[in-house]
Amino acid sequence: MTDFKELVELARKISMTTSRNEKIELVSSFIKELPEDEVRHAVLFLLGRTLPPGDERHLDVNWRALLSVLKRMTGADNEQLFKILVQAVDIGDGFKKALEKFEPKRQSFLFEQKLTIKEVSSYYNKIASLRGAKSRKYKEDLLFSLFSLADKDEAEFLARNLTGEMRIGLHEGLMEEAIAKAFQIPARLVRRAVMLRGDISEIAVLAKRGGAKALESIRIEVFRPLKPMLATDADSIEEVLRELKRASFEFKLDGIRLQMHAKGGRIRAFTRRLSDVTQSLPDIVDQFSEIFGSREVVADGEAIAIDPEGRPLPFQFVSRRLRRKSDIARSAKEIPLRLFLFDILQIDGKMLIDEPYFRRRKLLEDLVDEEWLVPARVCESEEEASNFLKEALDRGHEGLIAKKLDSIYTPGVRGKNWFKIKPVLATLDLVIVAAERGYGRRHKWLSDYYLAARDEETGEFYVVGKTFKGLTDQEFELMTQRLKELAYYDDGHLVKVKPSIVVEVAFNEIQKSPKYESGLALRFARIVSIREDKTPEEAETIQNLRRIYEKQFLHKGKI
């Protein structure tokens, strides 16, 4: 079994280099030599994850739990620890500094033990499996036991891993390259396999076990979601037609993206985060059953909330449905959802993602009544597409999605085959990374939010603005509860949290700013909606924000 210390040392080396090739070489050399049953854990840990995608369990280890463990280990009080944590870069750095300052008290073991990669995974699984009234205490006991086995460097890694703050500049794209190099497989084949399975750690194991042949055999599996194909932002119809010449334009609905799976009368619904939301959406399940009966099918679509007249409601109503965990039948009556389909990925065992879009759309139109389809129109002139856009807006929708007619379905990829056009106030999907306690009537809530964009090269998040606008009192209350559960630092005023919650943010413009490390700041930012359906990895990138900033000067002066 491989010592955990070796993984920690690898992470340190990765963090010390800015060279893409060197990072790939370091990771590939390491996973190549690992036993097969350790590969999955190593890949997850290096990417800042604790459990594989699709595992519905959560560790729910927050800042308070880690602080409690740190107090037990050091014997220090809150004030002493806060003095250290305030000076720390993050919770991992704070953990290491506290253990260096105070002689740690560790749990006694019968035999002297070294922490291994598999043992860390075993602890994570035990913590994630805990349920019930006393689970918090048991969780903290397991964490104390785990940290008792760790030295100071290992403790730093564990604290960062548990809060999702690895800070080593390693993202999934680099990991795909490392897997390809380690097992001598074309990188395109690794990327495709990850797209189809949605779990890079499993692909690493399959690559080690069976090489290219194992990955070539991967197909869509019903009830196993794959990453959705994504659209790139476009400023105008003119821009889209300049790129695509002729395209299919579909209404862009303001709802939740759903991947629907059905086989033998059984139906499941997955979000773009690959979460199973079937239990929350009985009305959508009934609708899909009405559409396809007992056929085996995987389809892509959108569910929107509708009023009694069938008109679309804002996304907040959809979000409210997803959050409801009890009395779901009543919720479905109060806020009915309506399913619209726009793509088909598999039918009766035949995989369709390599078929061109126009064939997939034609097949969908042949299989499904028009009332269940997202309206679409093929256009090659700006006038045609503009008229269709006006029709979409007049019917209460967000805009249009333009699709290249011969494009294949590429799961998880945002390229130049699909474009989204939203001629409304600009919005960005950003991640909340910290919050401050409010003032006046907001004093009881965490209500001033730091909004961050993702660096597509390193995976780190950089603050680009701050806002307290946009949420209702009820949403402030719920957001405060969620942020406290995600917190890894709290000095009584500022709370730093694991990047997890994505919000759609409207703004007037992007400005240069020395205030934030990103060098950018949103002007008049306000939250439009909480995007329960999106992952932090799908948030806007800092690179795209810089492009948007430069585009602002196409029609105005710049000094």
Closest CA to 198 of 177, 172, 217: 172
Amino acid sitting at position 11: A
Dig out the tokens for 458 from the structure.
């390193």
Residues whose CB falls within 8 Å of the CB of residue 261, separated by 6 or more in sequence, listed in order: 222, 223, 224, 225, 267, 268, 269, 270, 297, 298
Q: Is the separation of the CB atoms in 132 and 100 below 8 Å?
A: no
Q: Is the separation of the CB atoms in 389 and 237 below 8 Å?
A: yes
DSSP letter for 197, please.
Answer: H
Give the helix ranges, DSSP H, for 277-381: 282-292, 315-323, 328-334, 357-367
Name the 3-class secondary structure at 178.
Answer: helix
Dig out the tokens for 412 from the structure.
């998880």
Q: Which helix (H) or strand (E) holds 298?
A: strand 297-305
Q: Which helix (H) or strand (E) holds 550?
A: helix 542-551
Dig out the tokens for 476 from the structure.
């402030």
Q: Is the separation of the CB atoms in 252 and 398 below 8 Å?
A: yes
Amino acid sitting at position 408: I
- Which residues in 353-387 are b (16+ Cβ under 10 Å) and which e? bebebeebbebbeebbeeebbbbbbebeeeeebbe
Closest CA to 462 of 545, 362, 404: 545
DSSP letter for 375, please.
Answer: P
Residue 485 CB burial class (10 angstroms; 0-12, 13-18, ≥19):
middle
Name the 3-class secondary structure at 347.
Answer: strand
The Cα–Cα gap between 98 and 76 comes to: 9
User: What are residue 477's phi and psi, to 5 degrees?
Assistant: -65, -50
The Cα–Cα gap between 193 and 199 comes to: 9
Active site residues: 252
Quickly count: other Cβ atoms within 10 Å of residue 233's Cβ: 17
Closest CA to 534 of 199, 274, 193, 172: 274
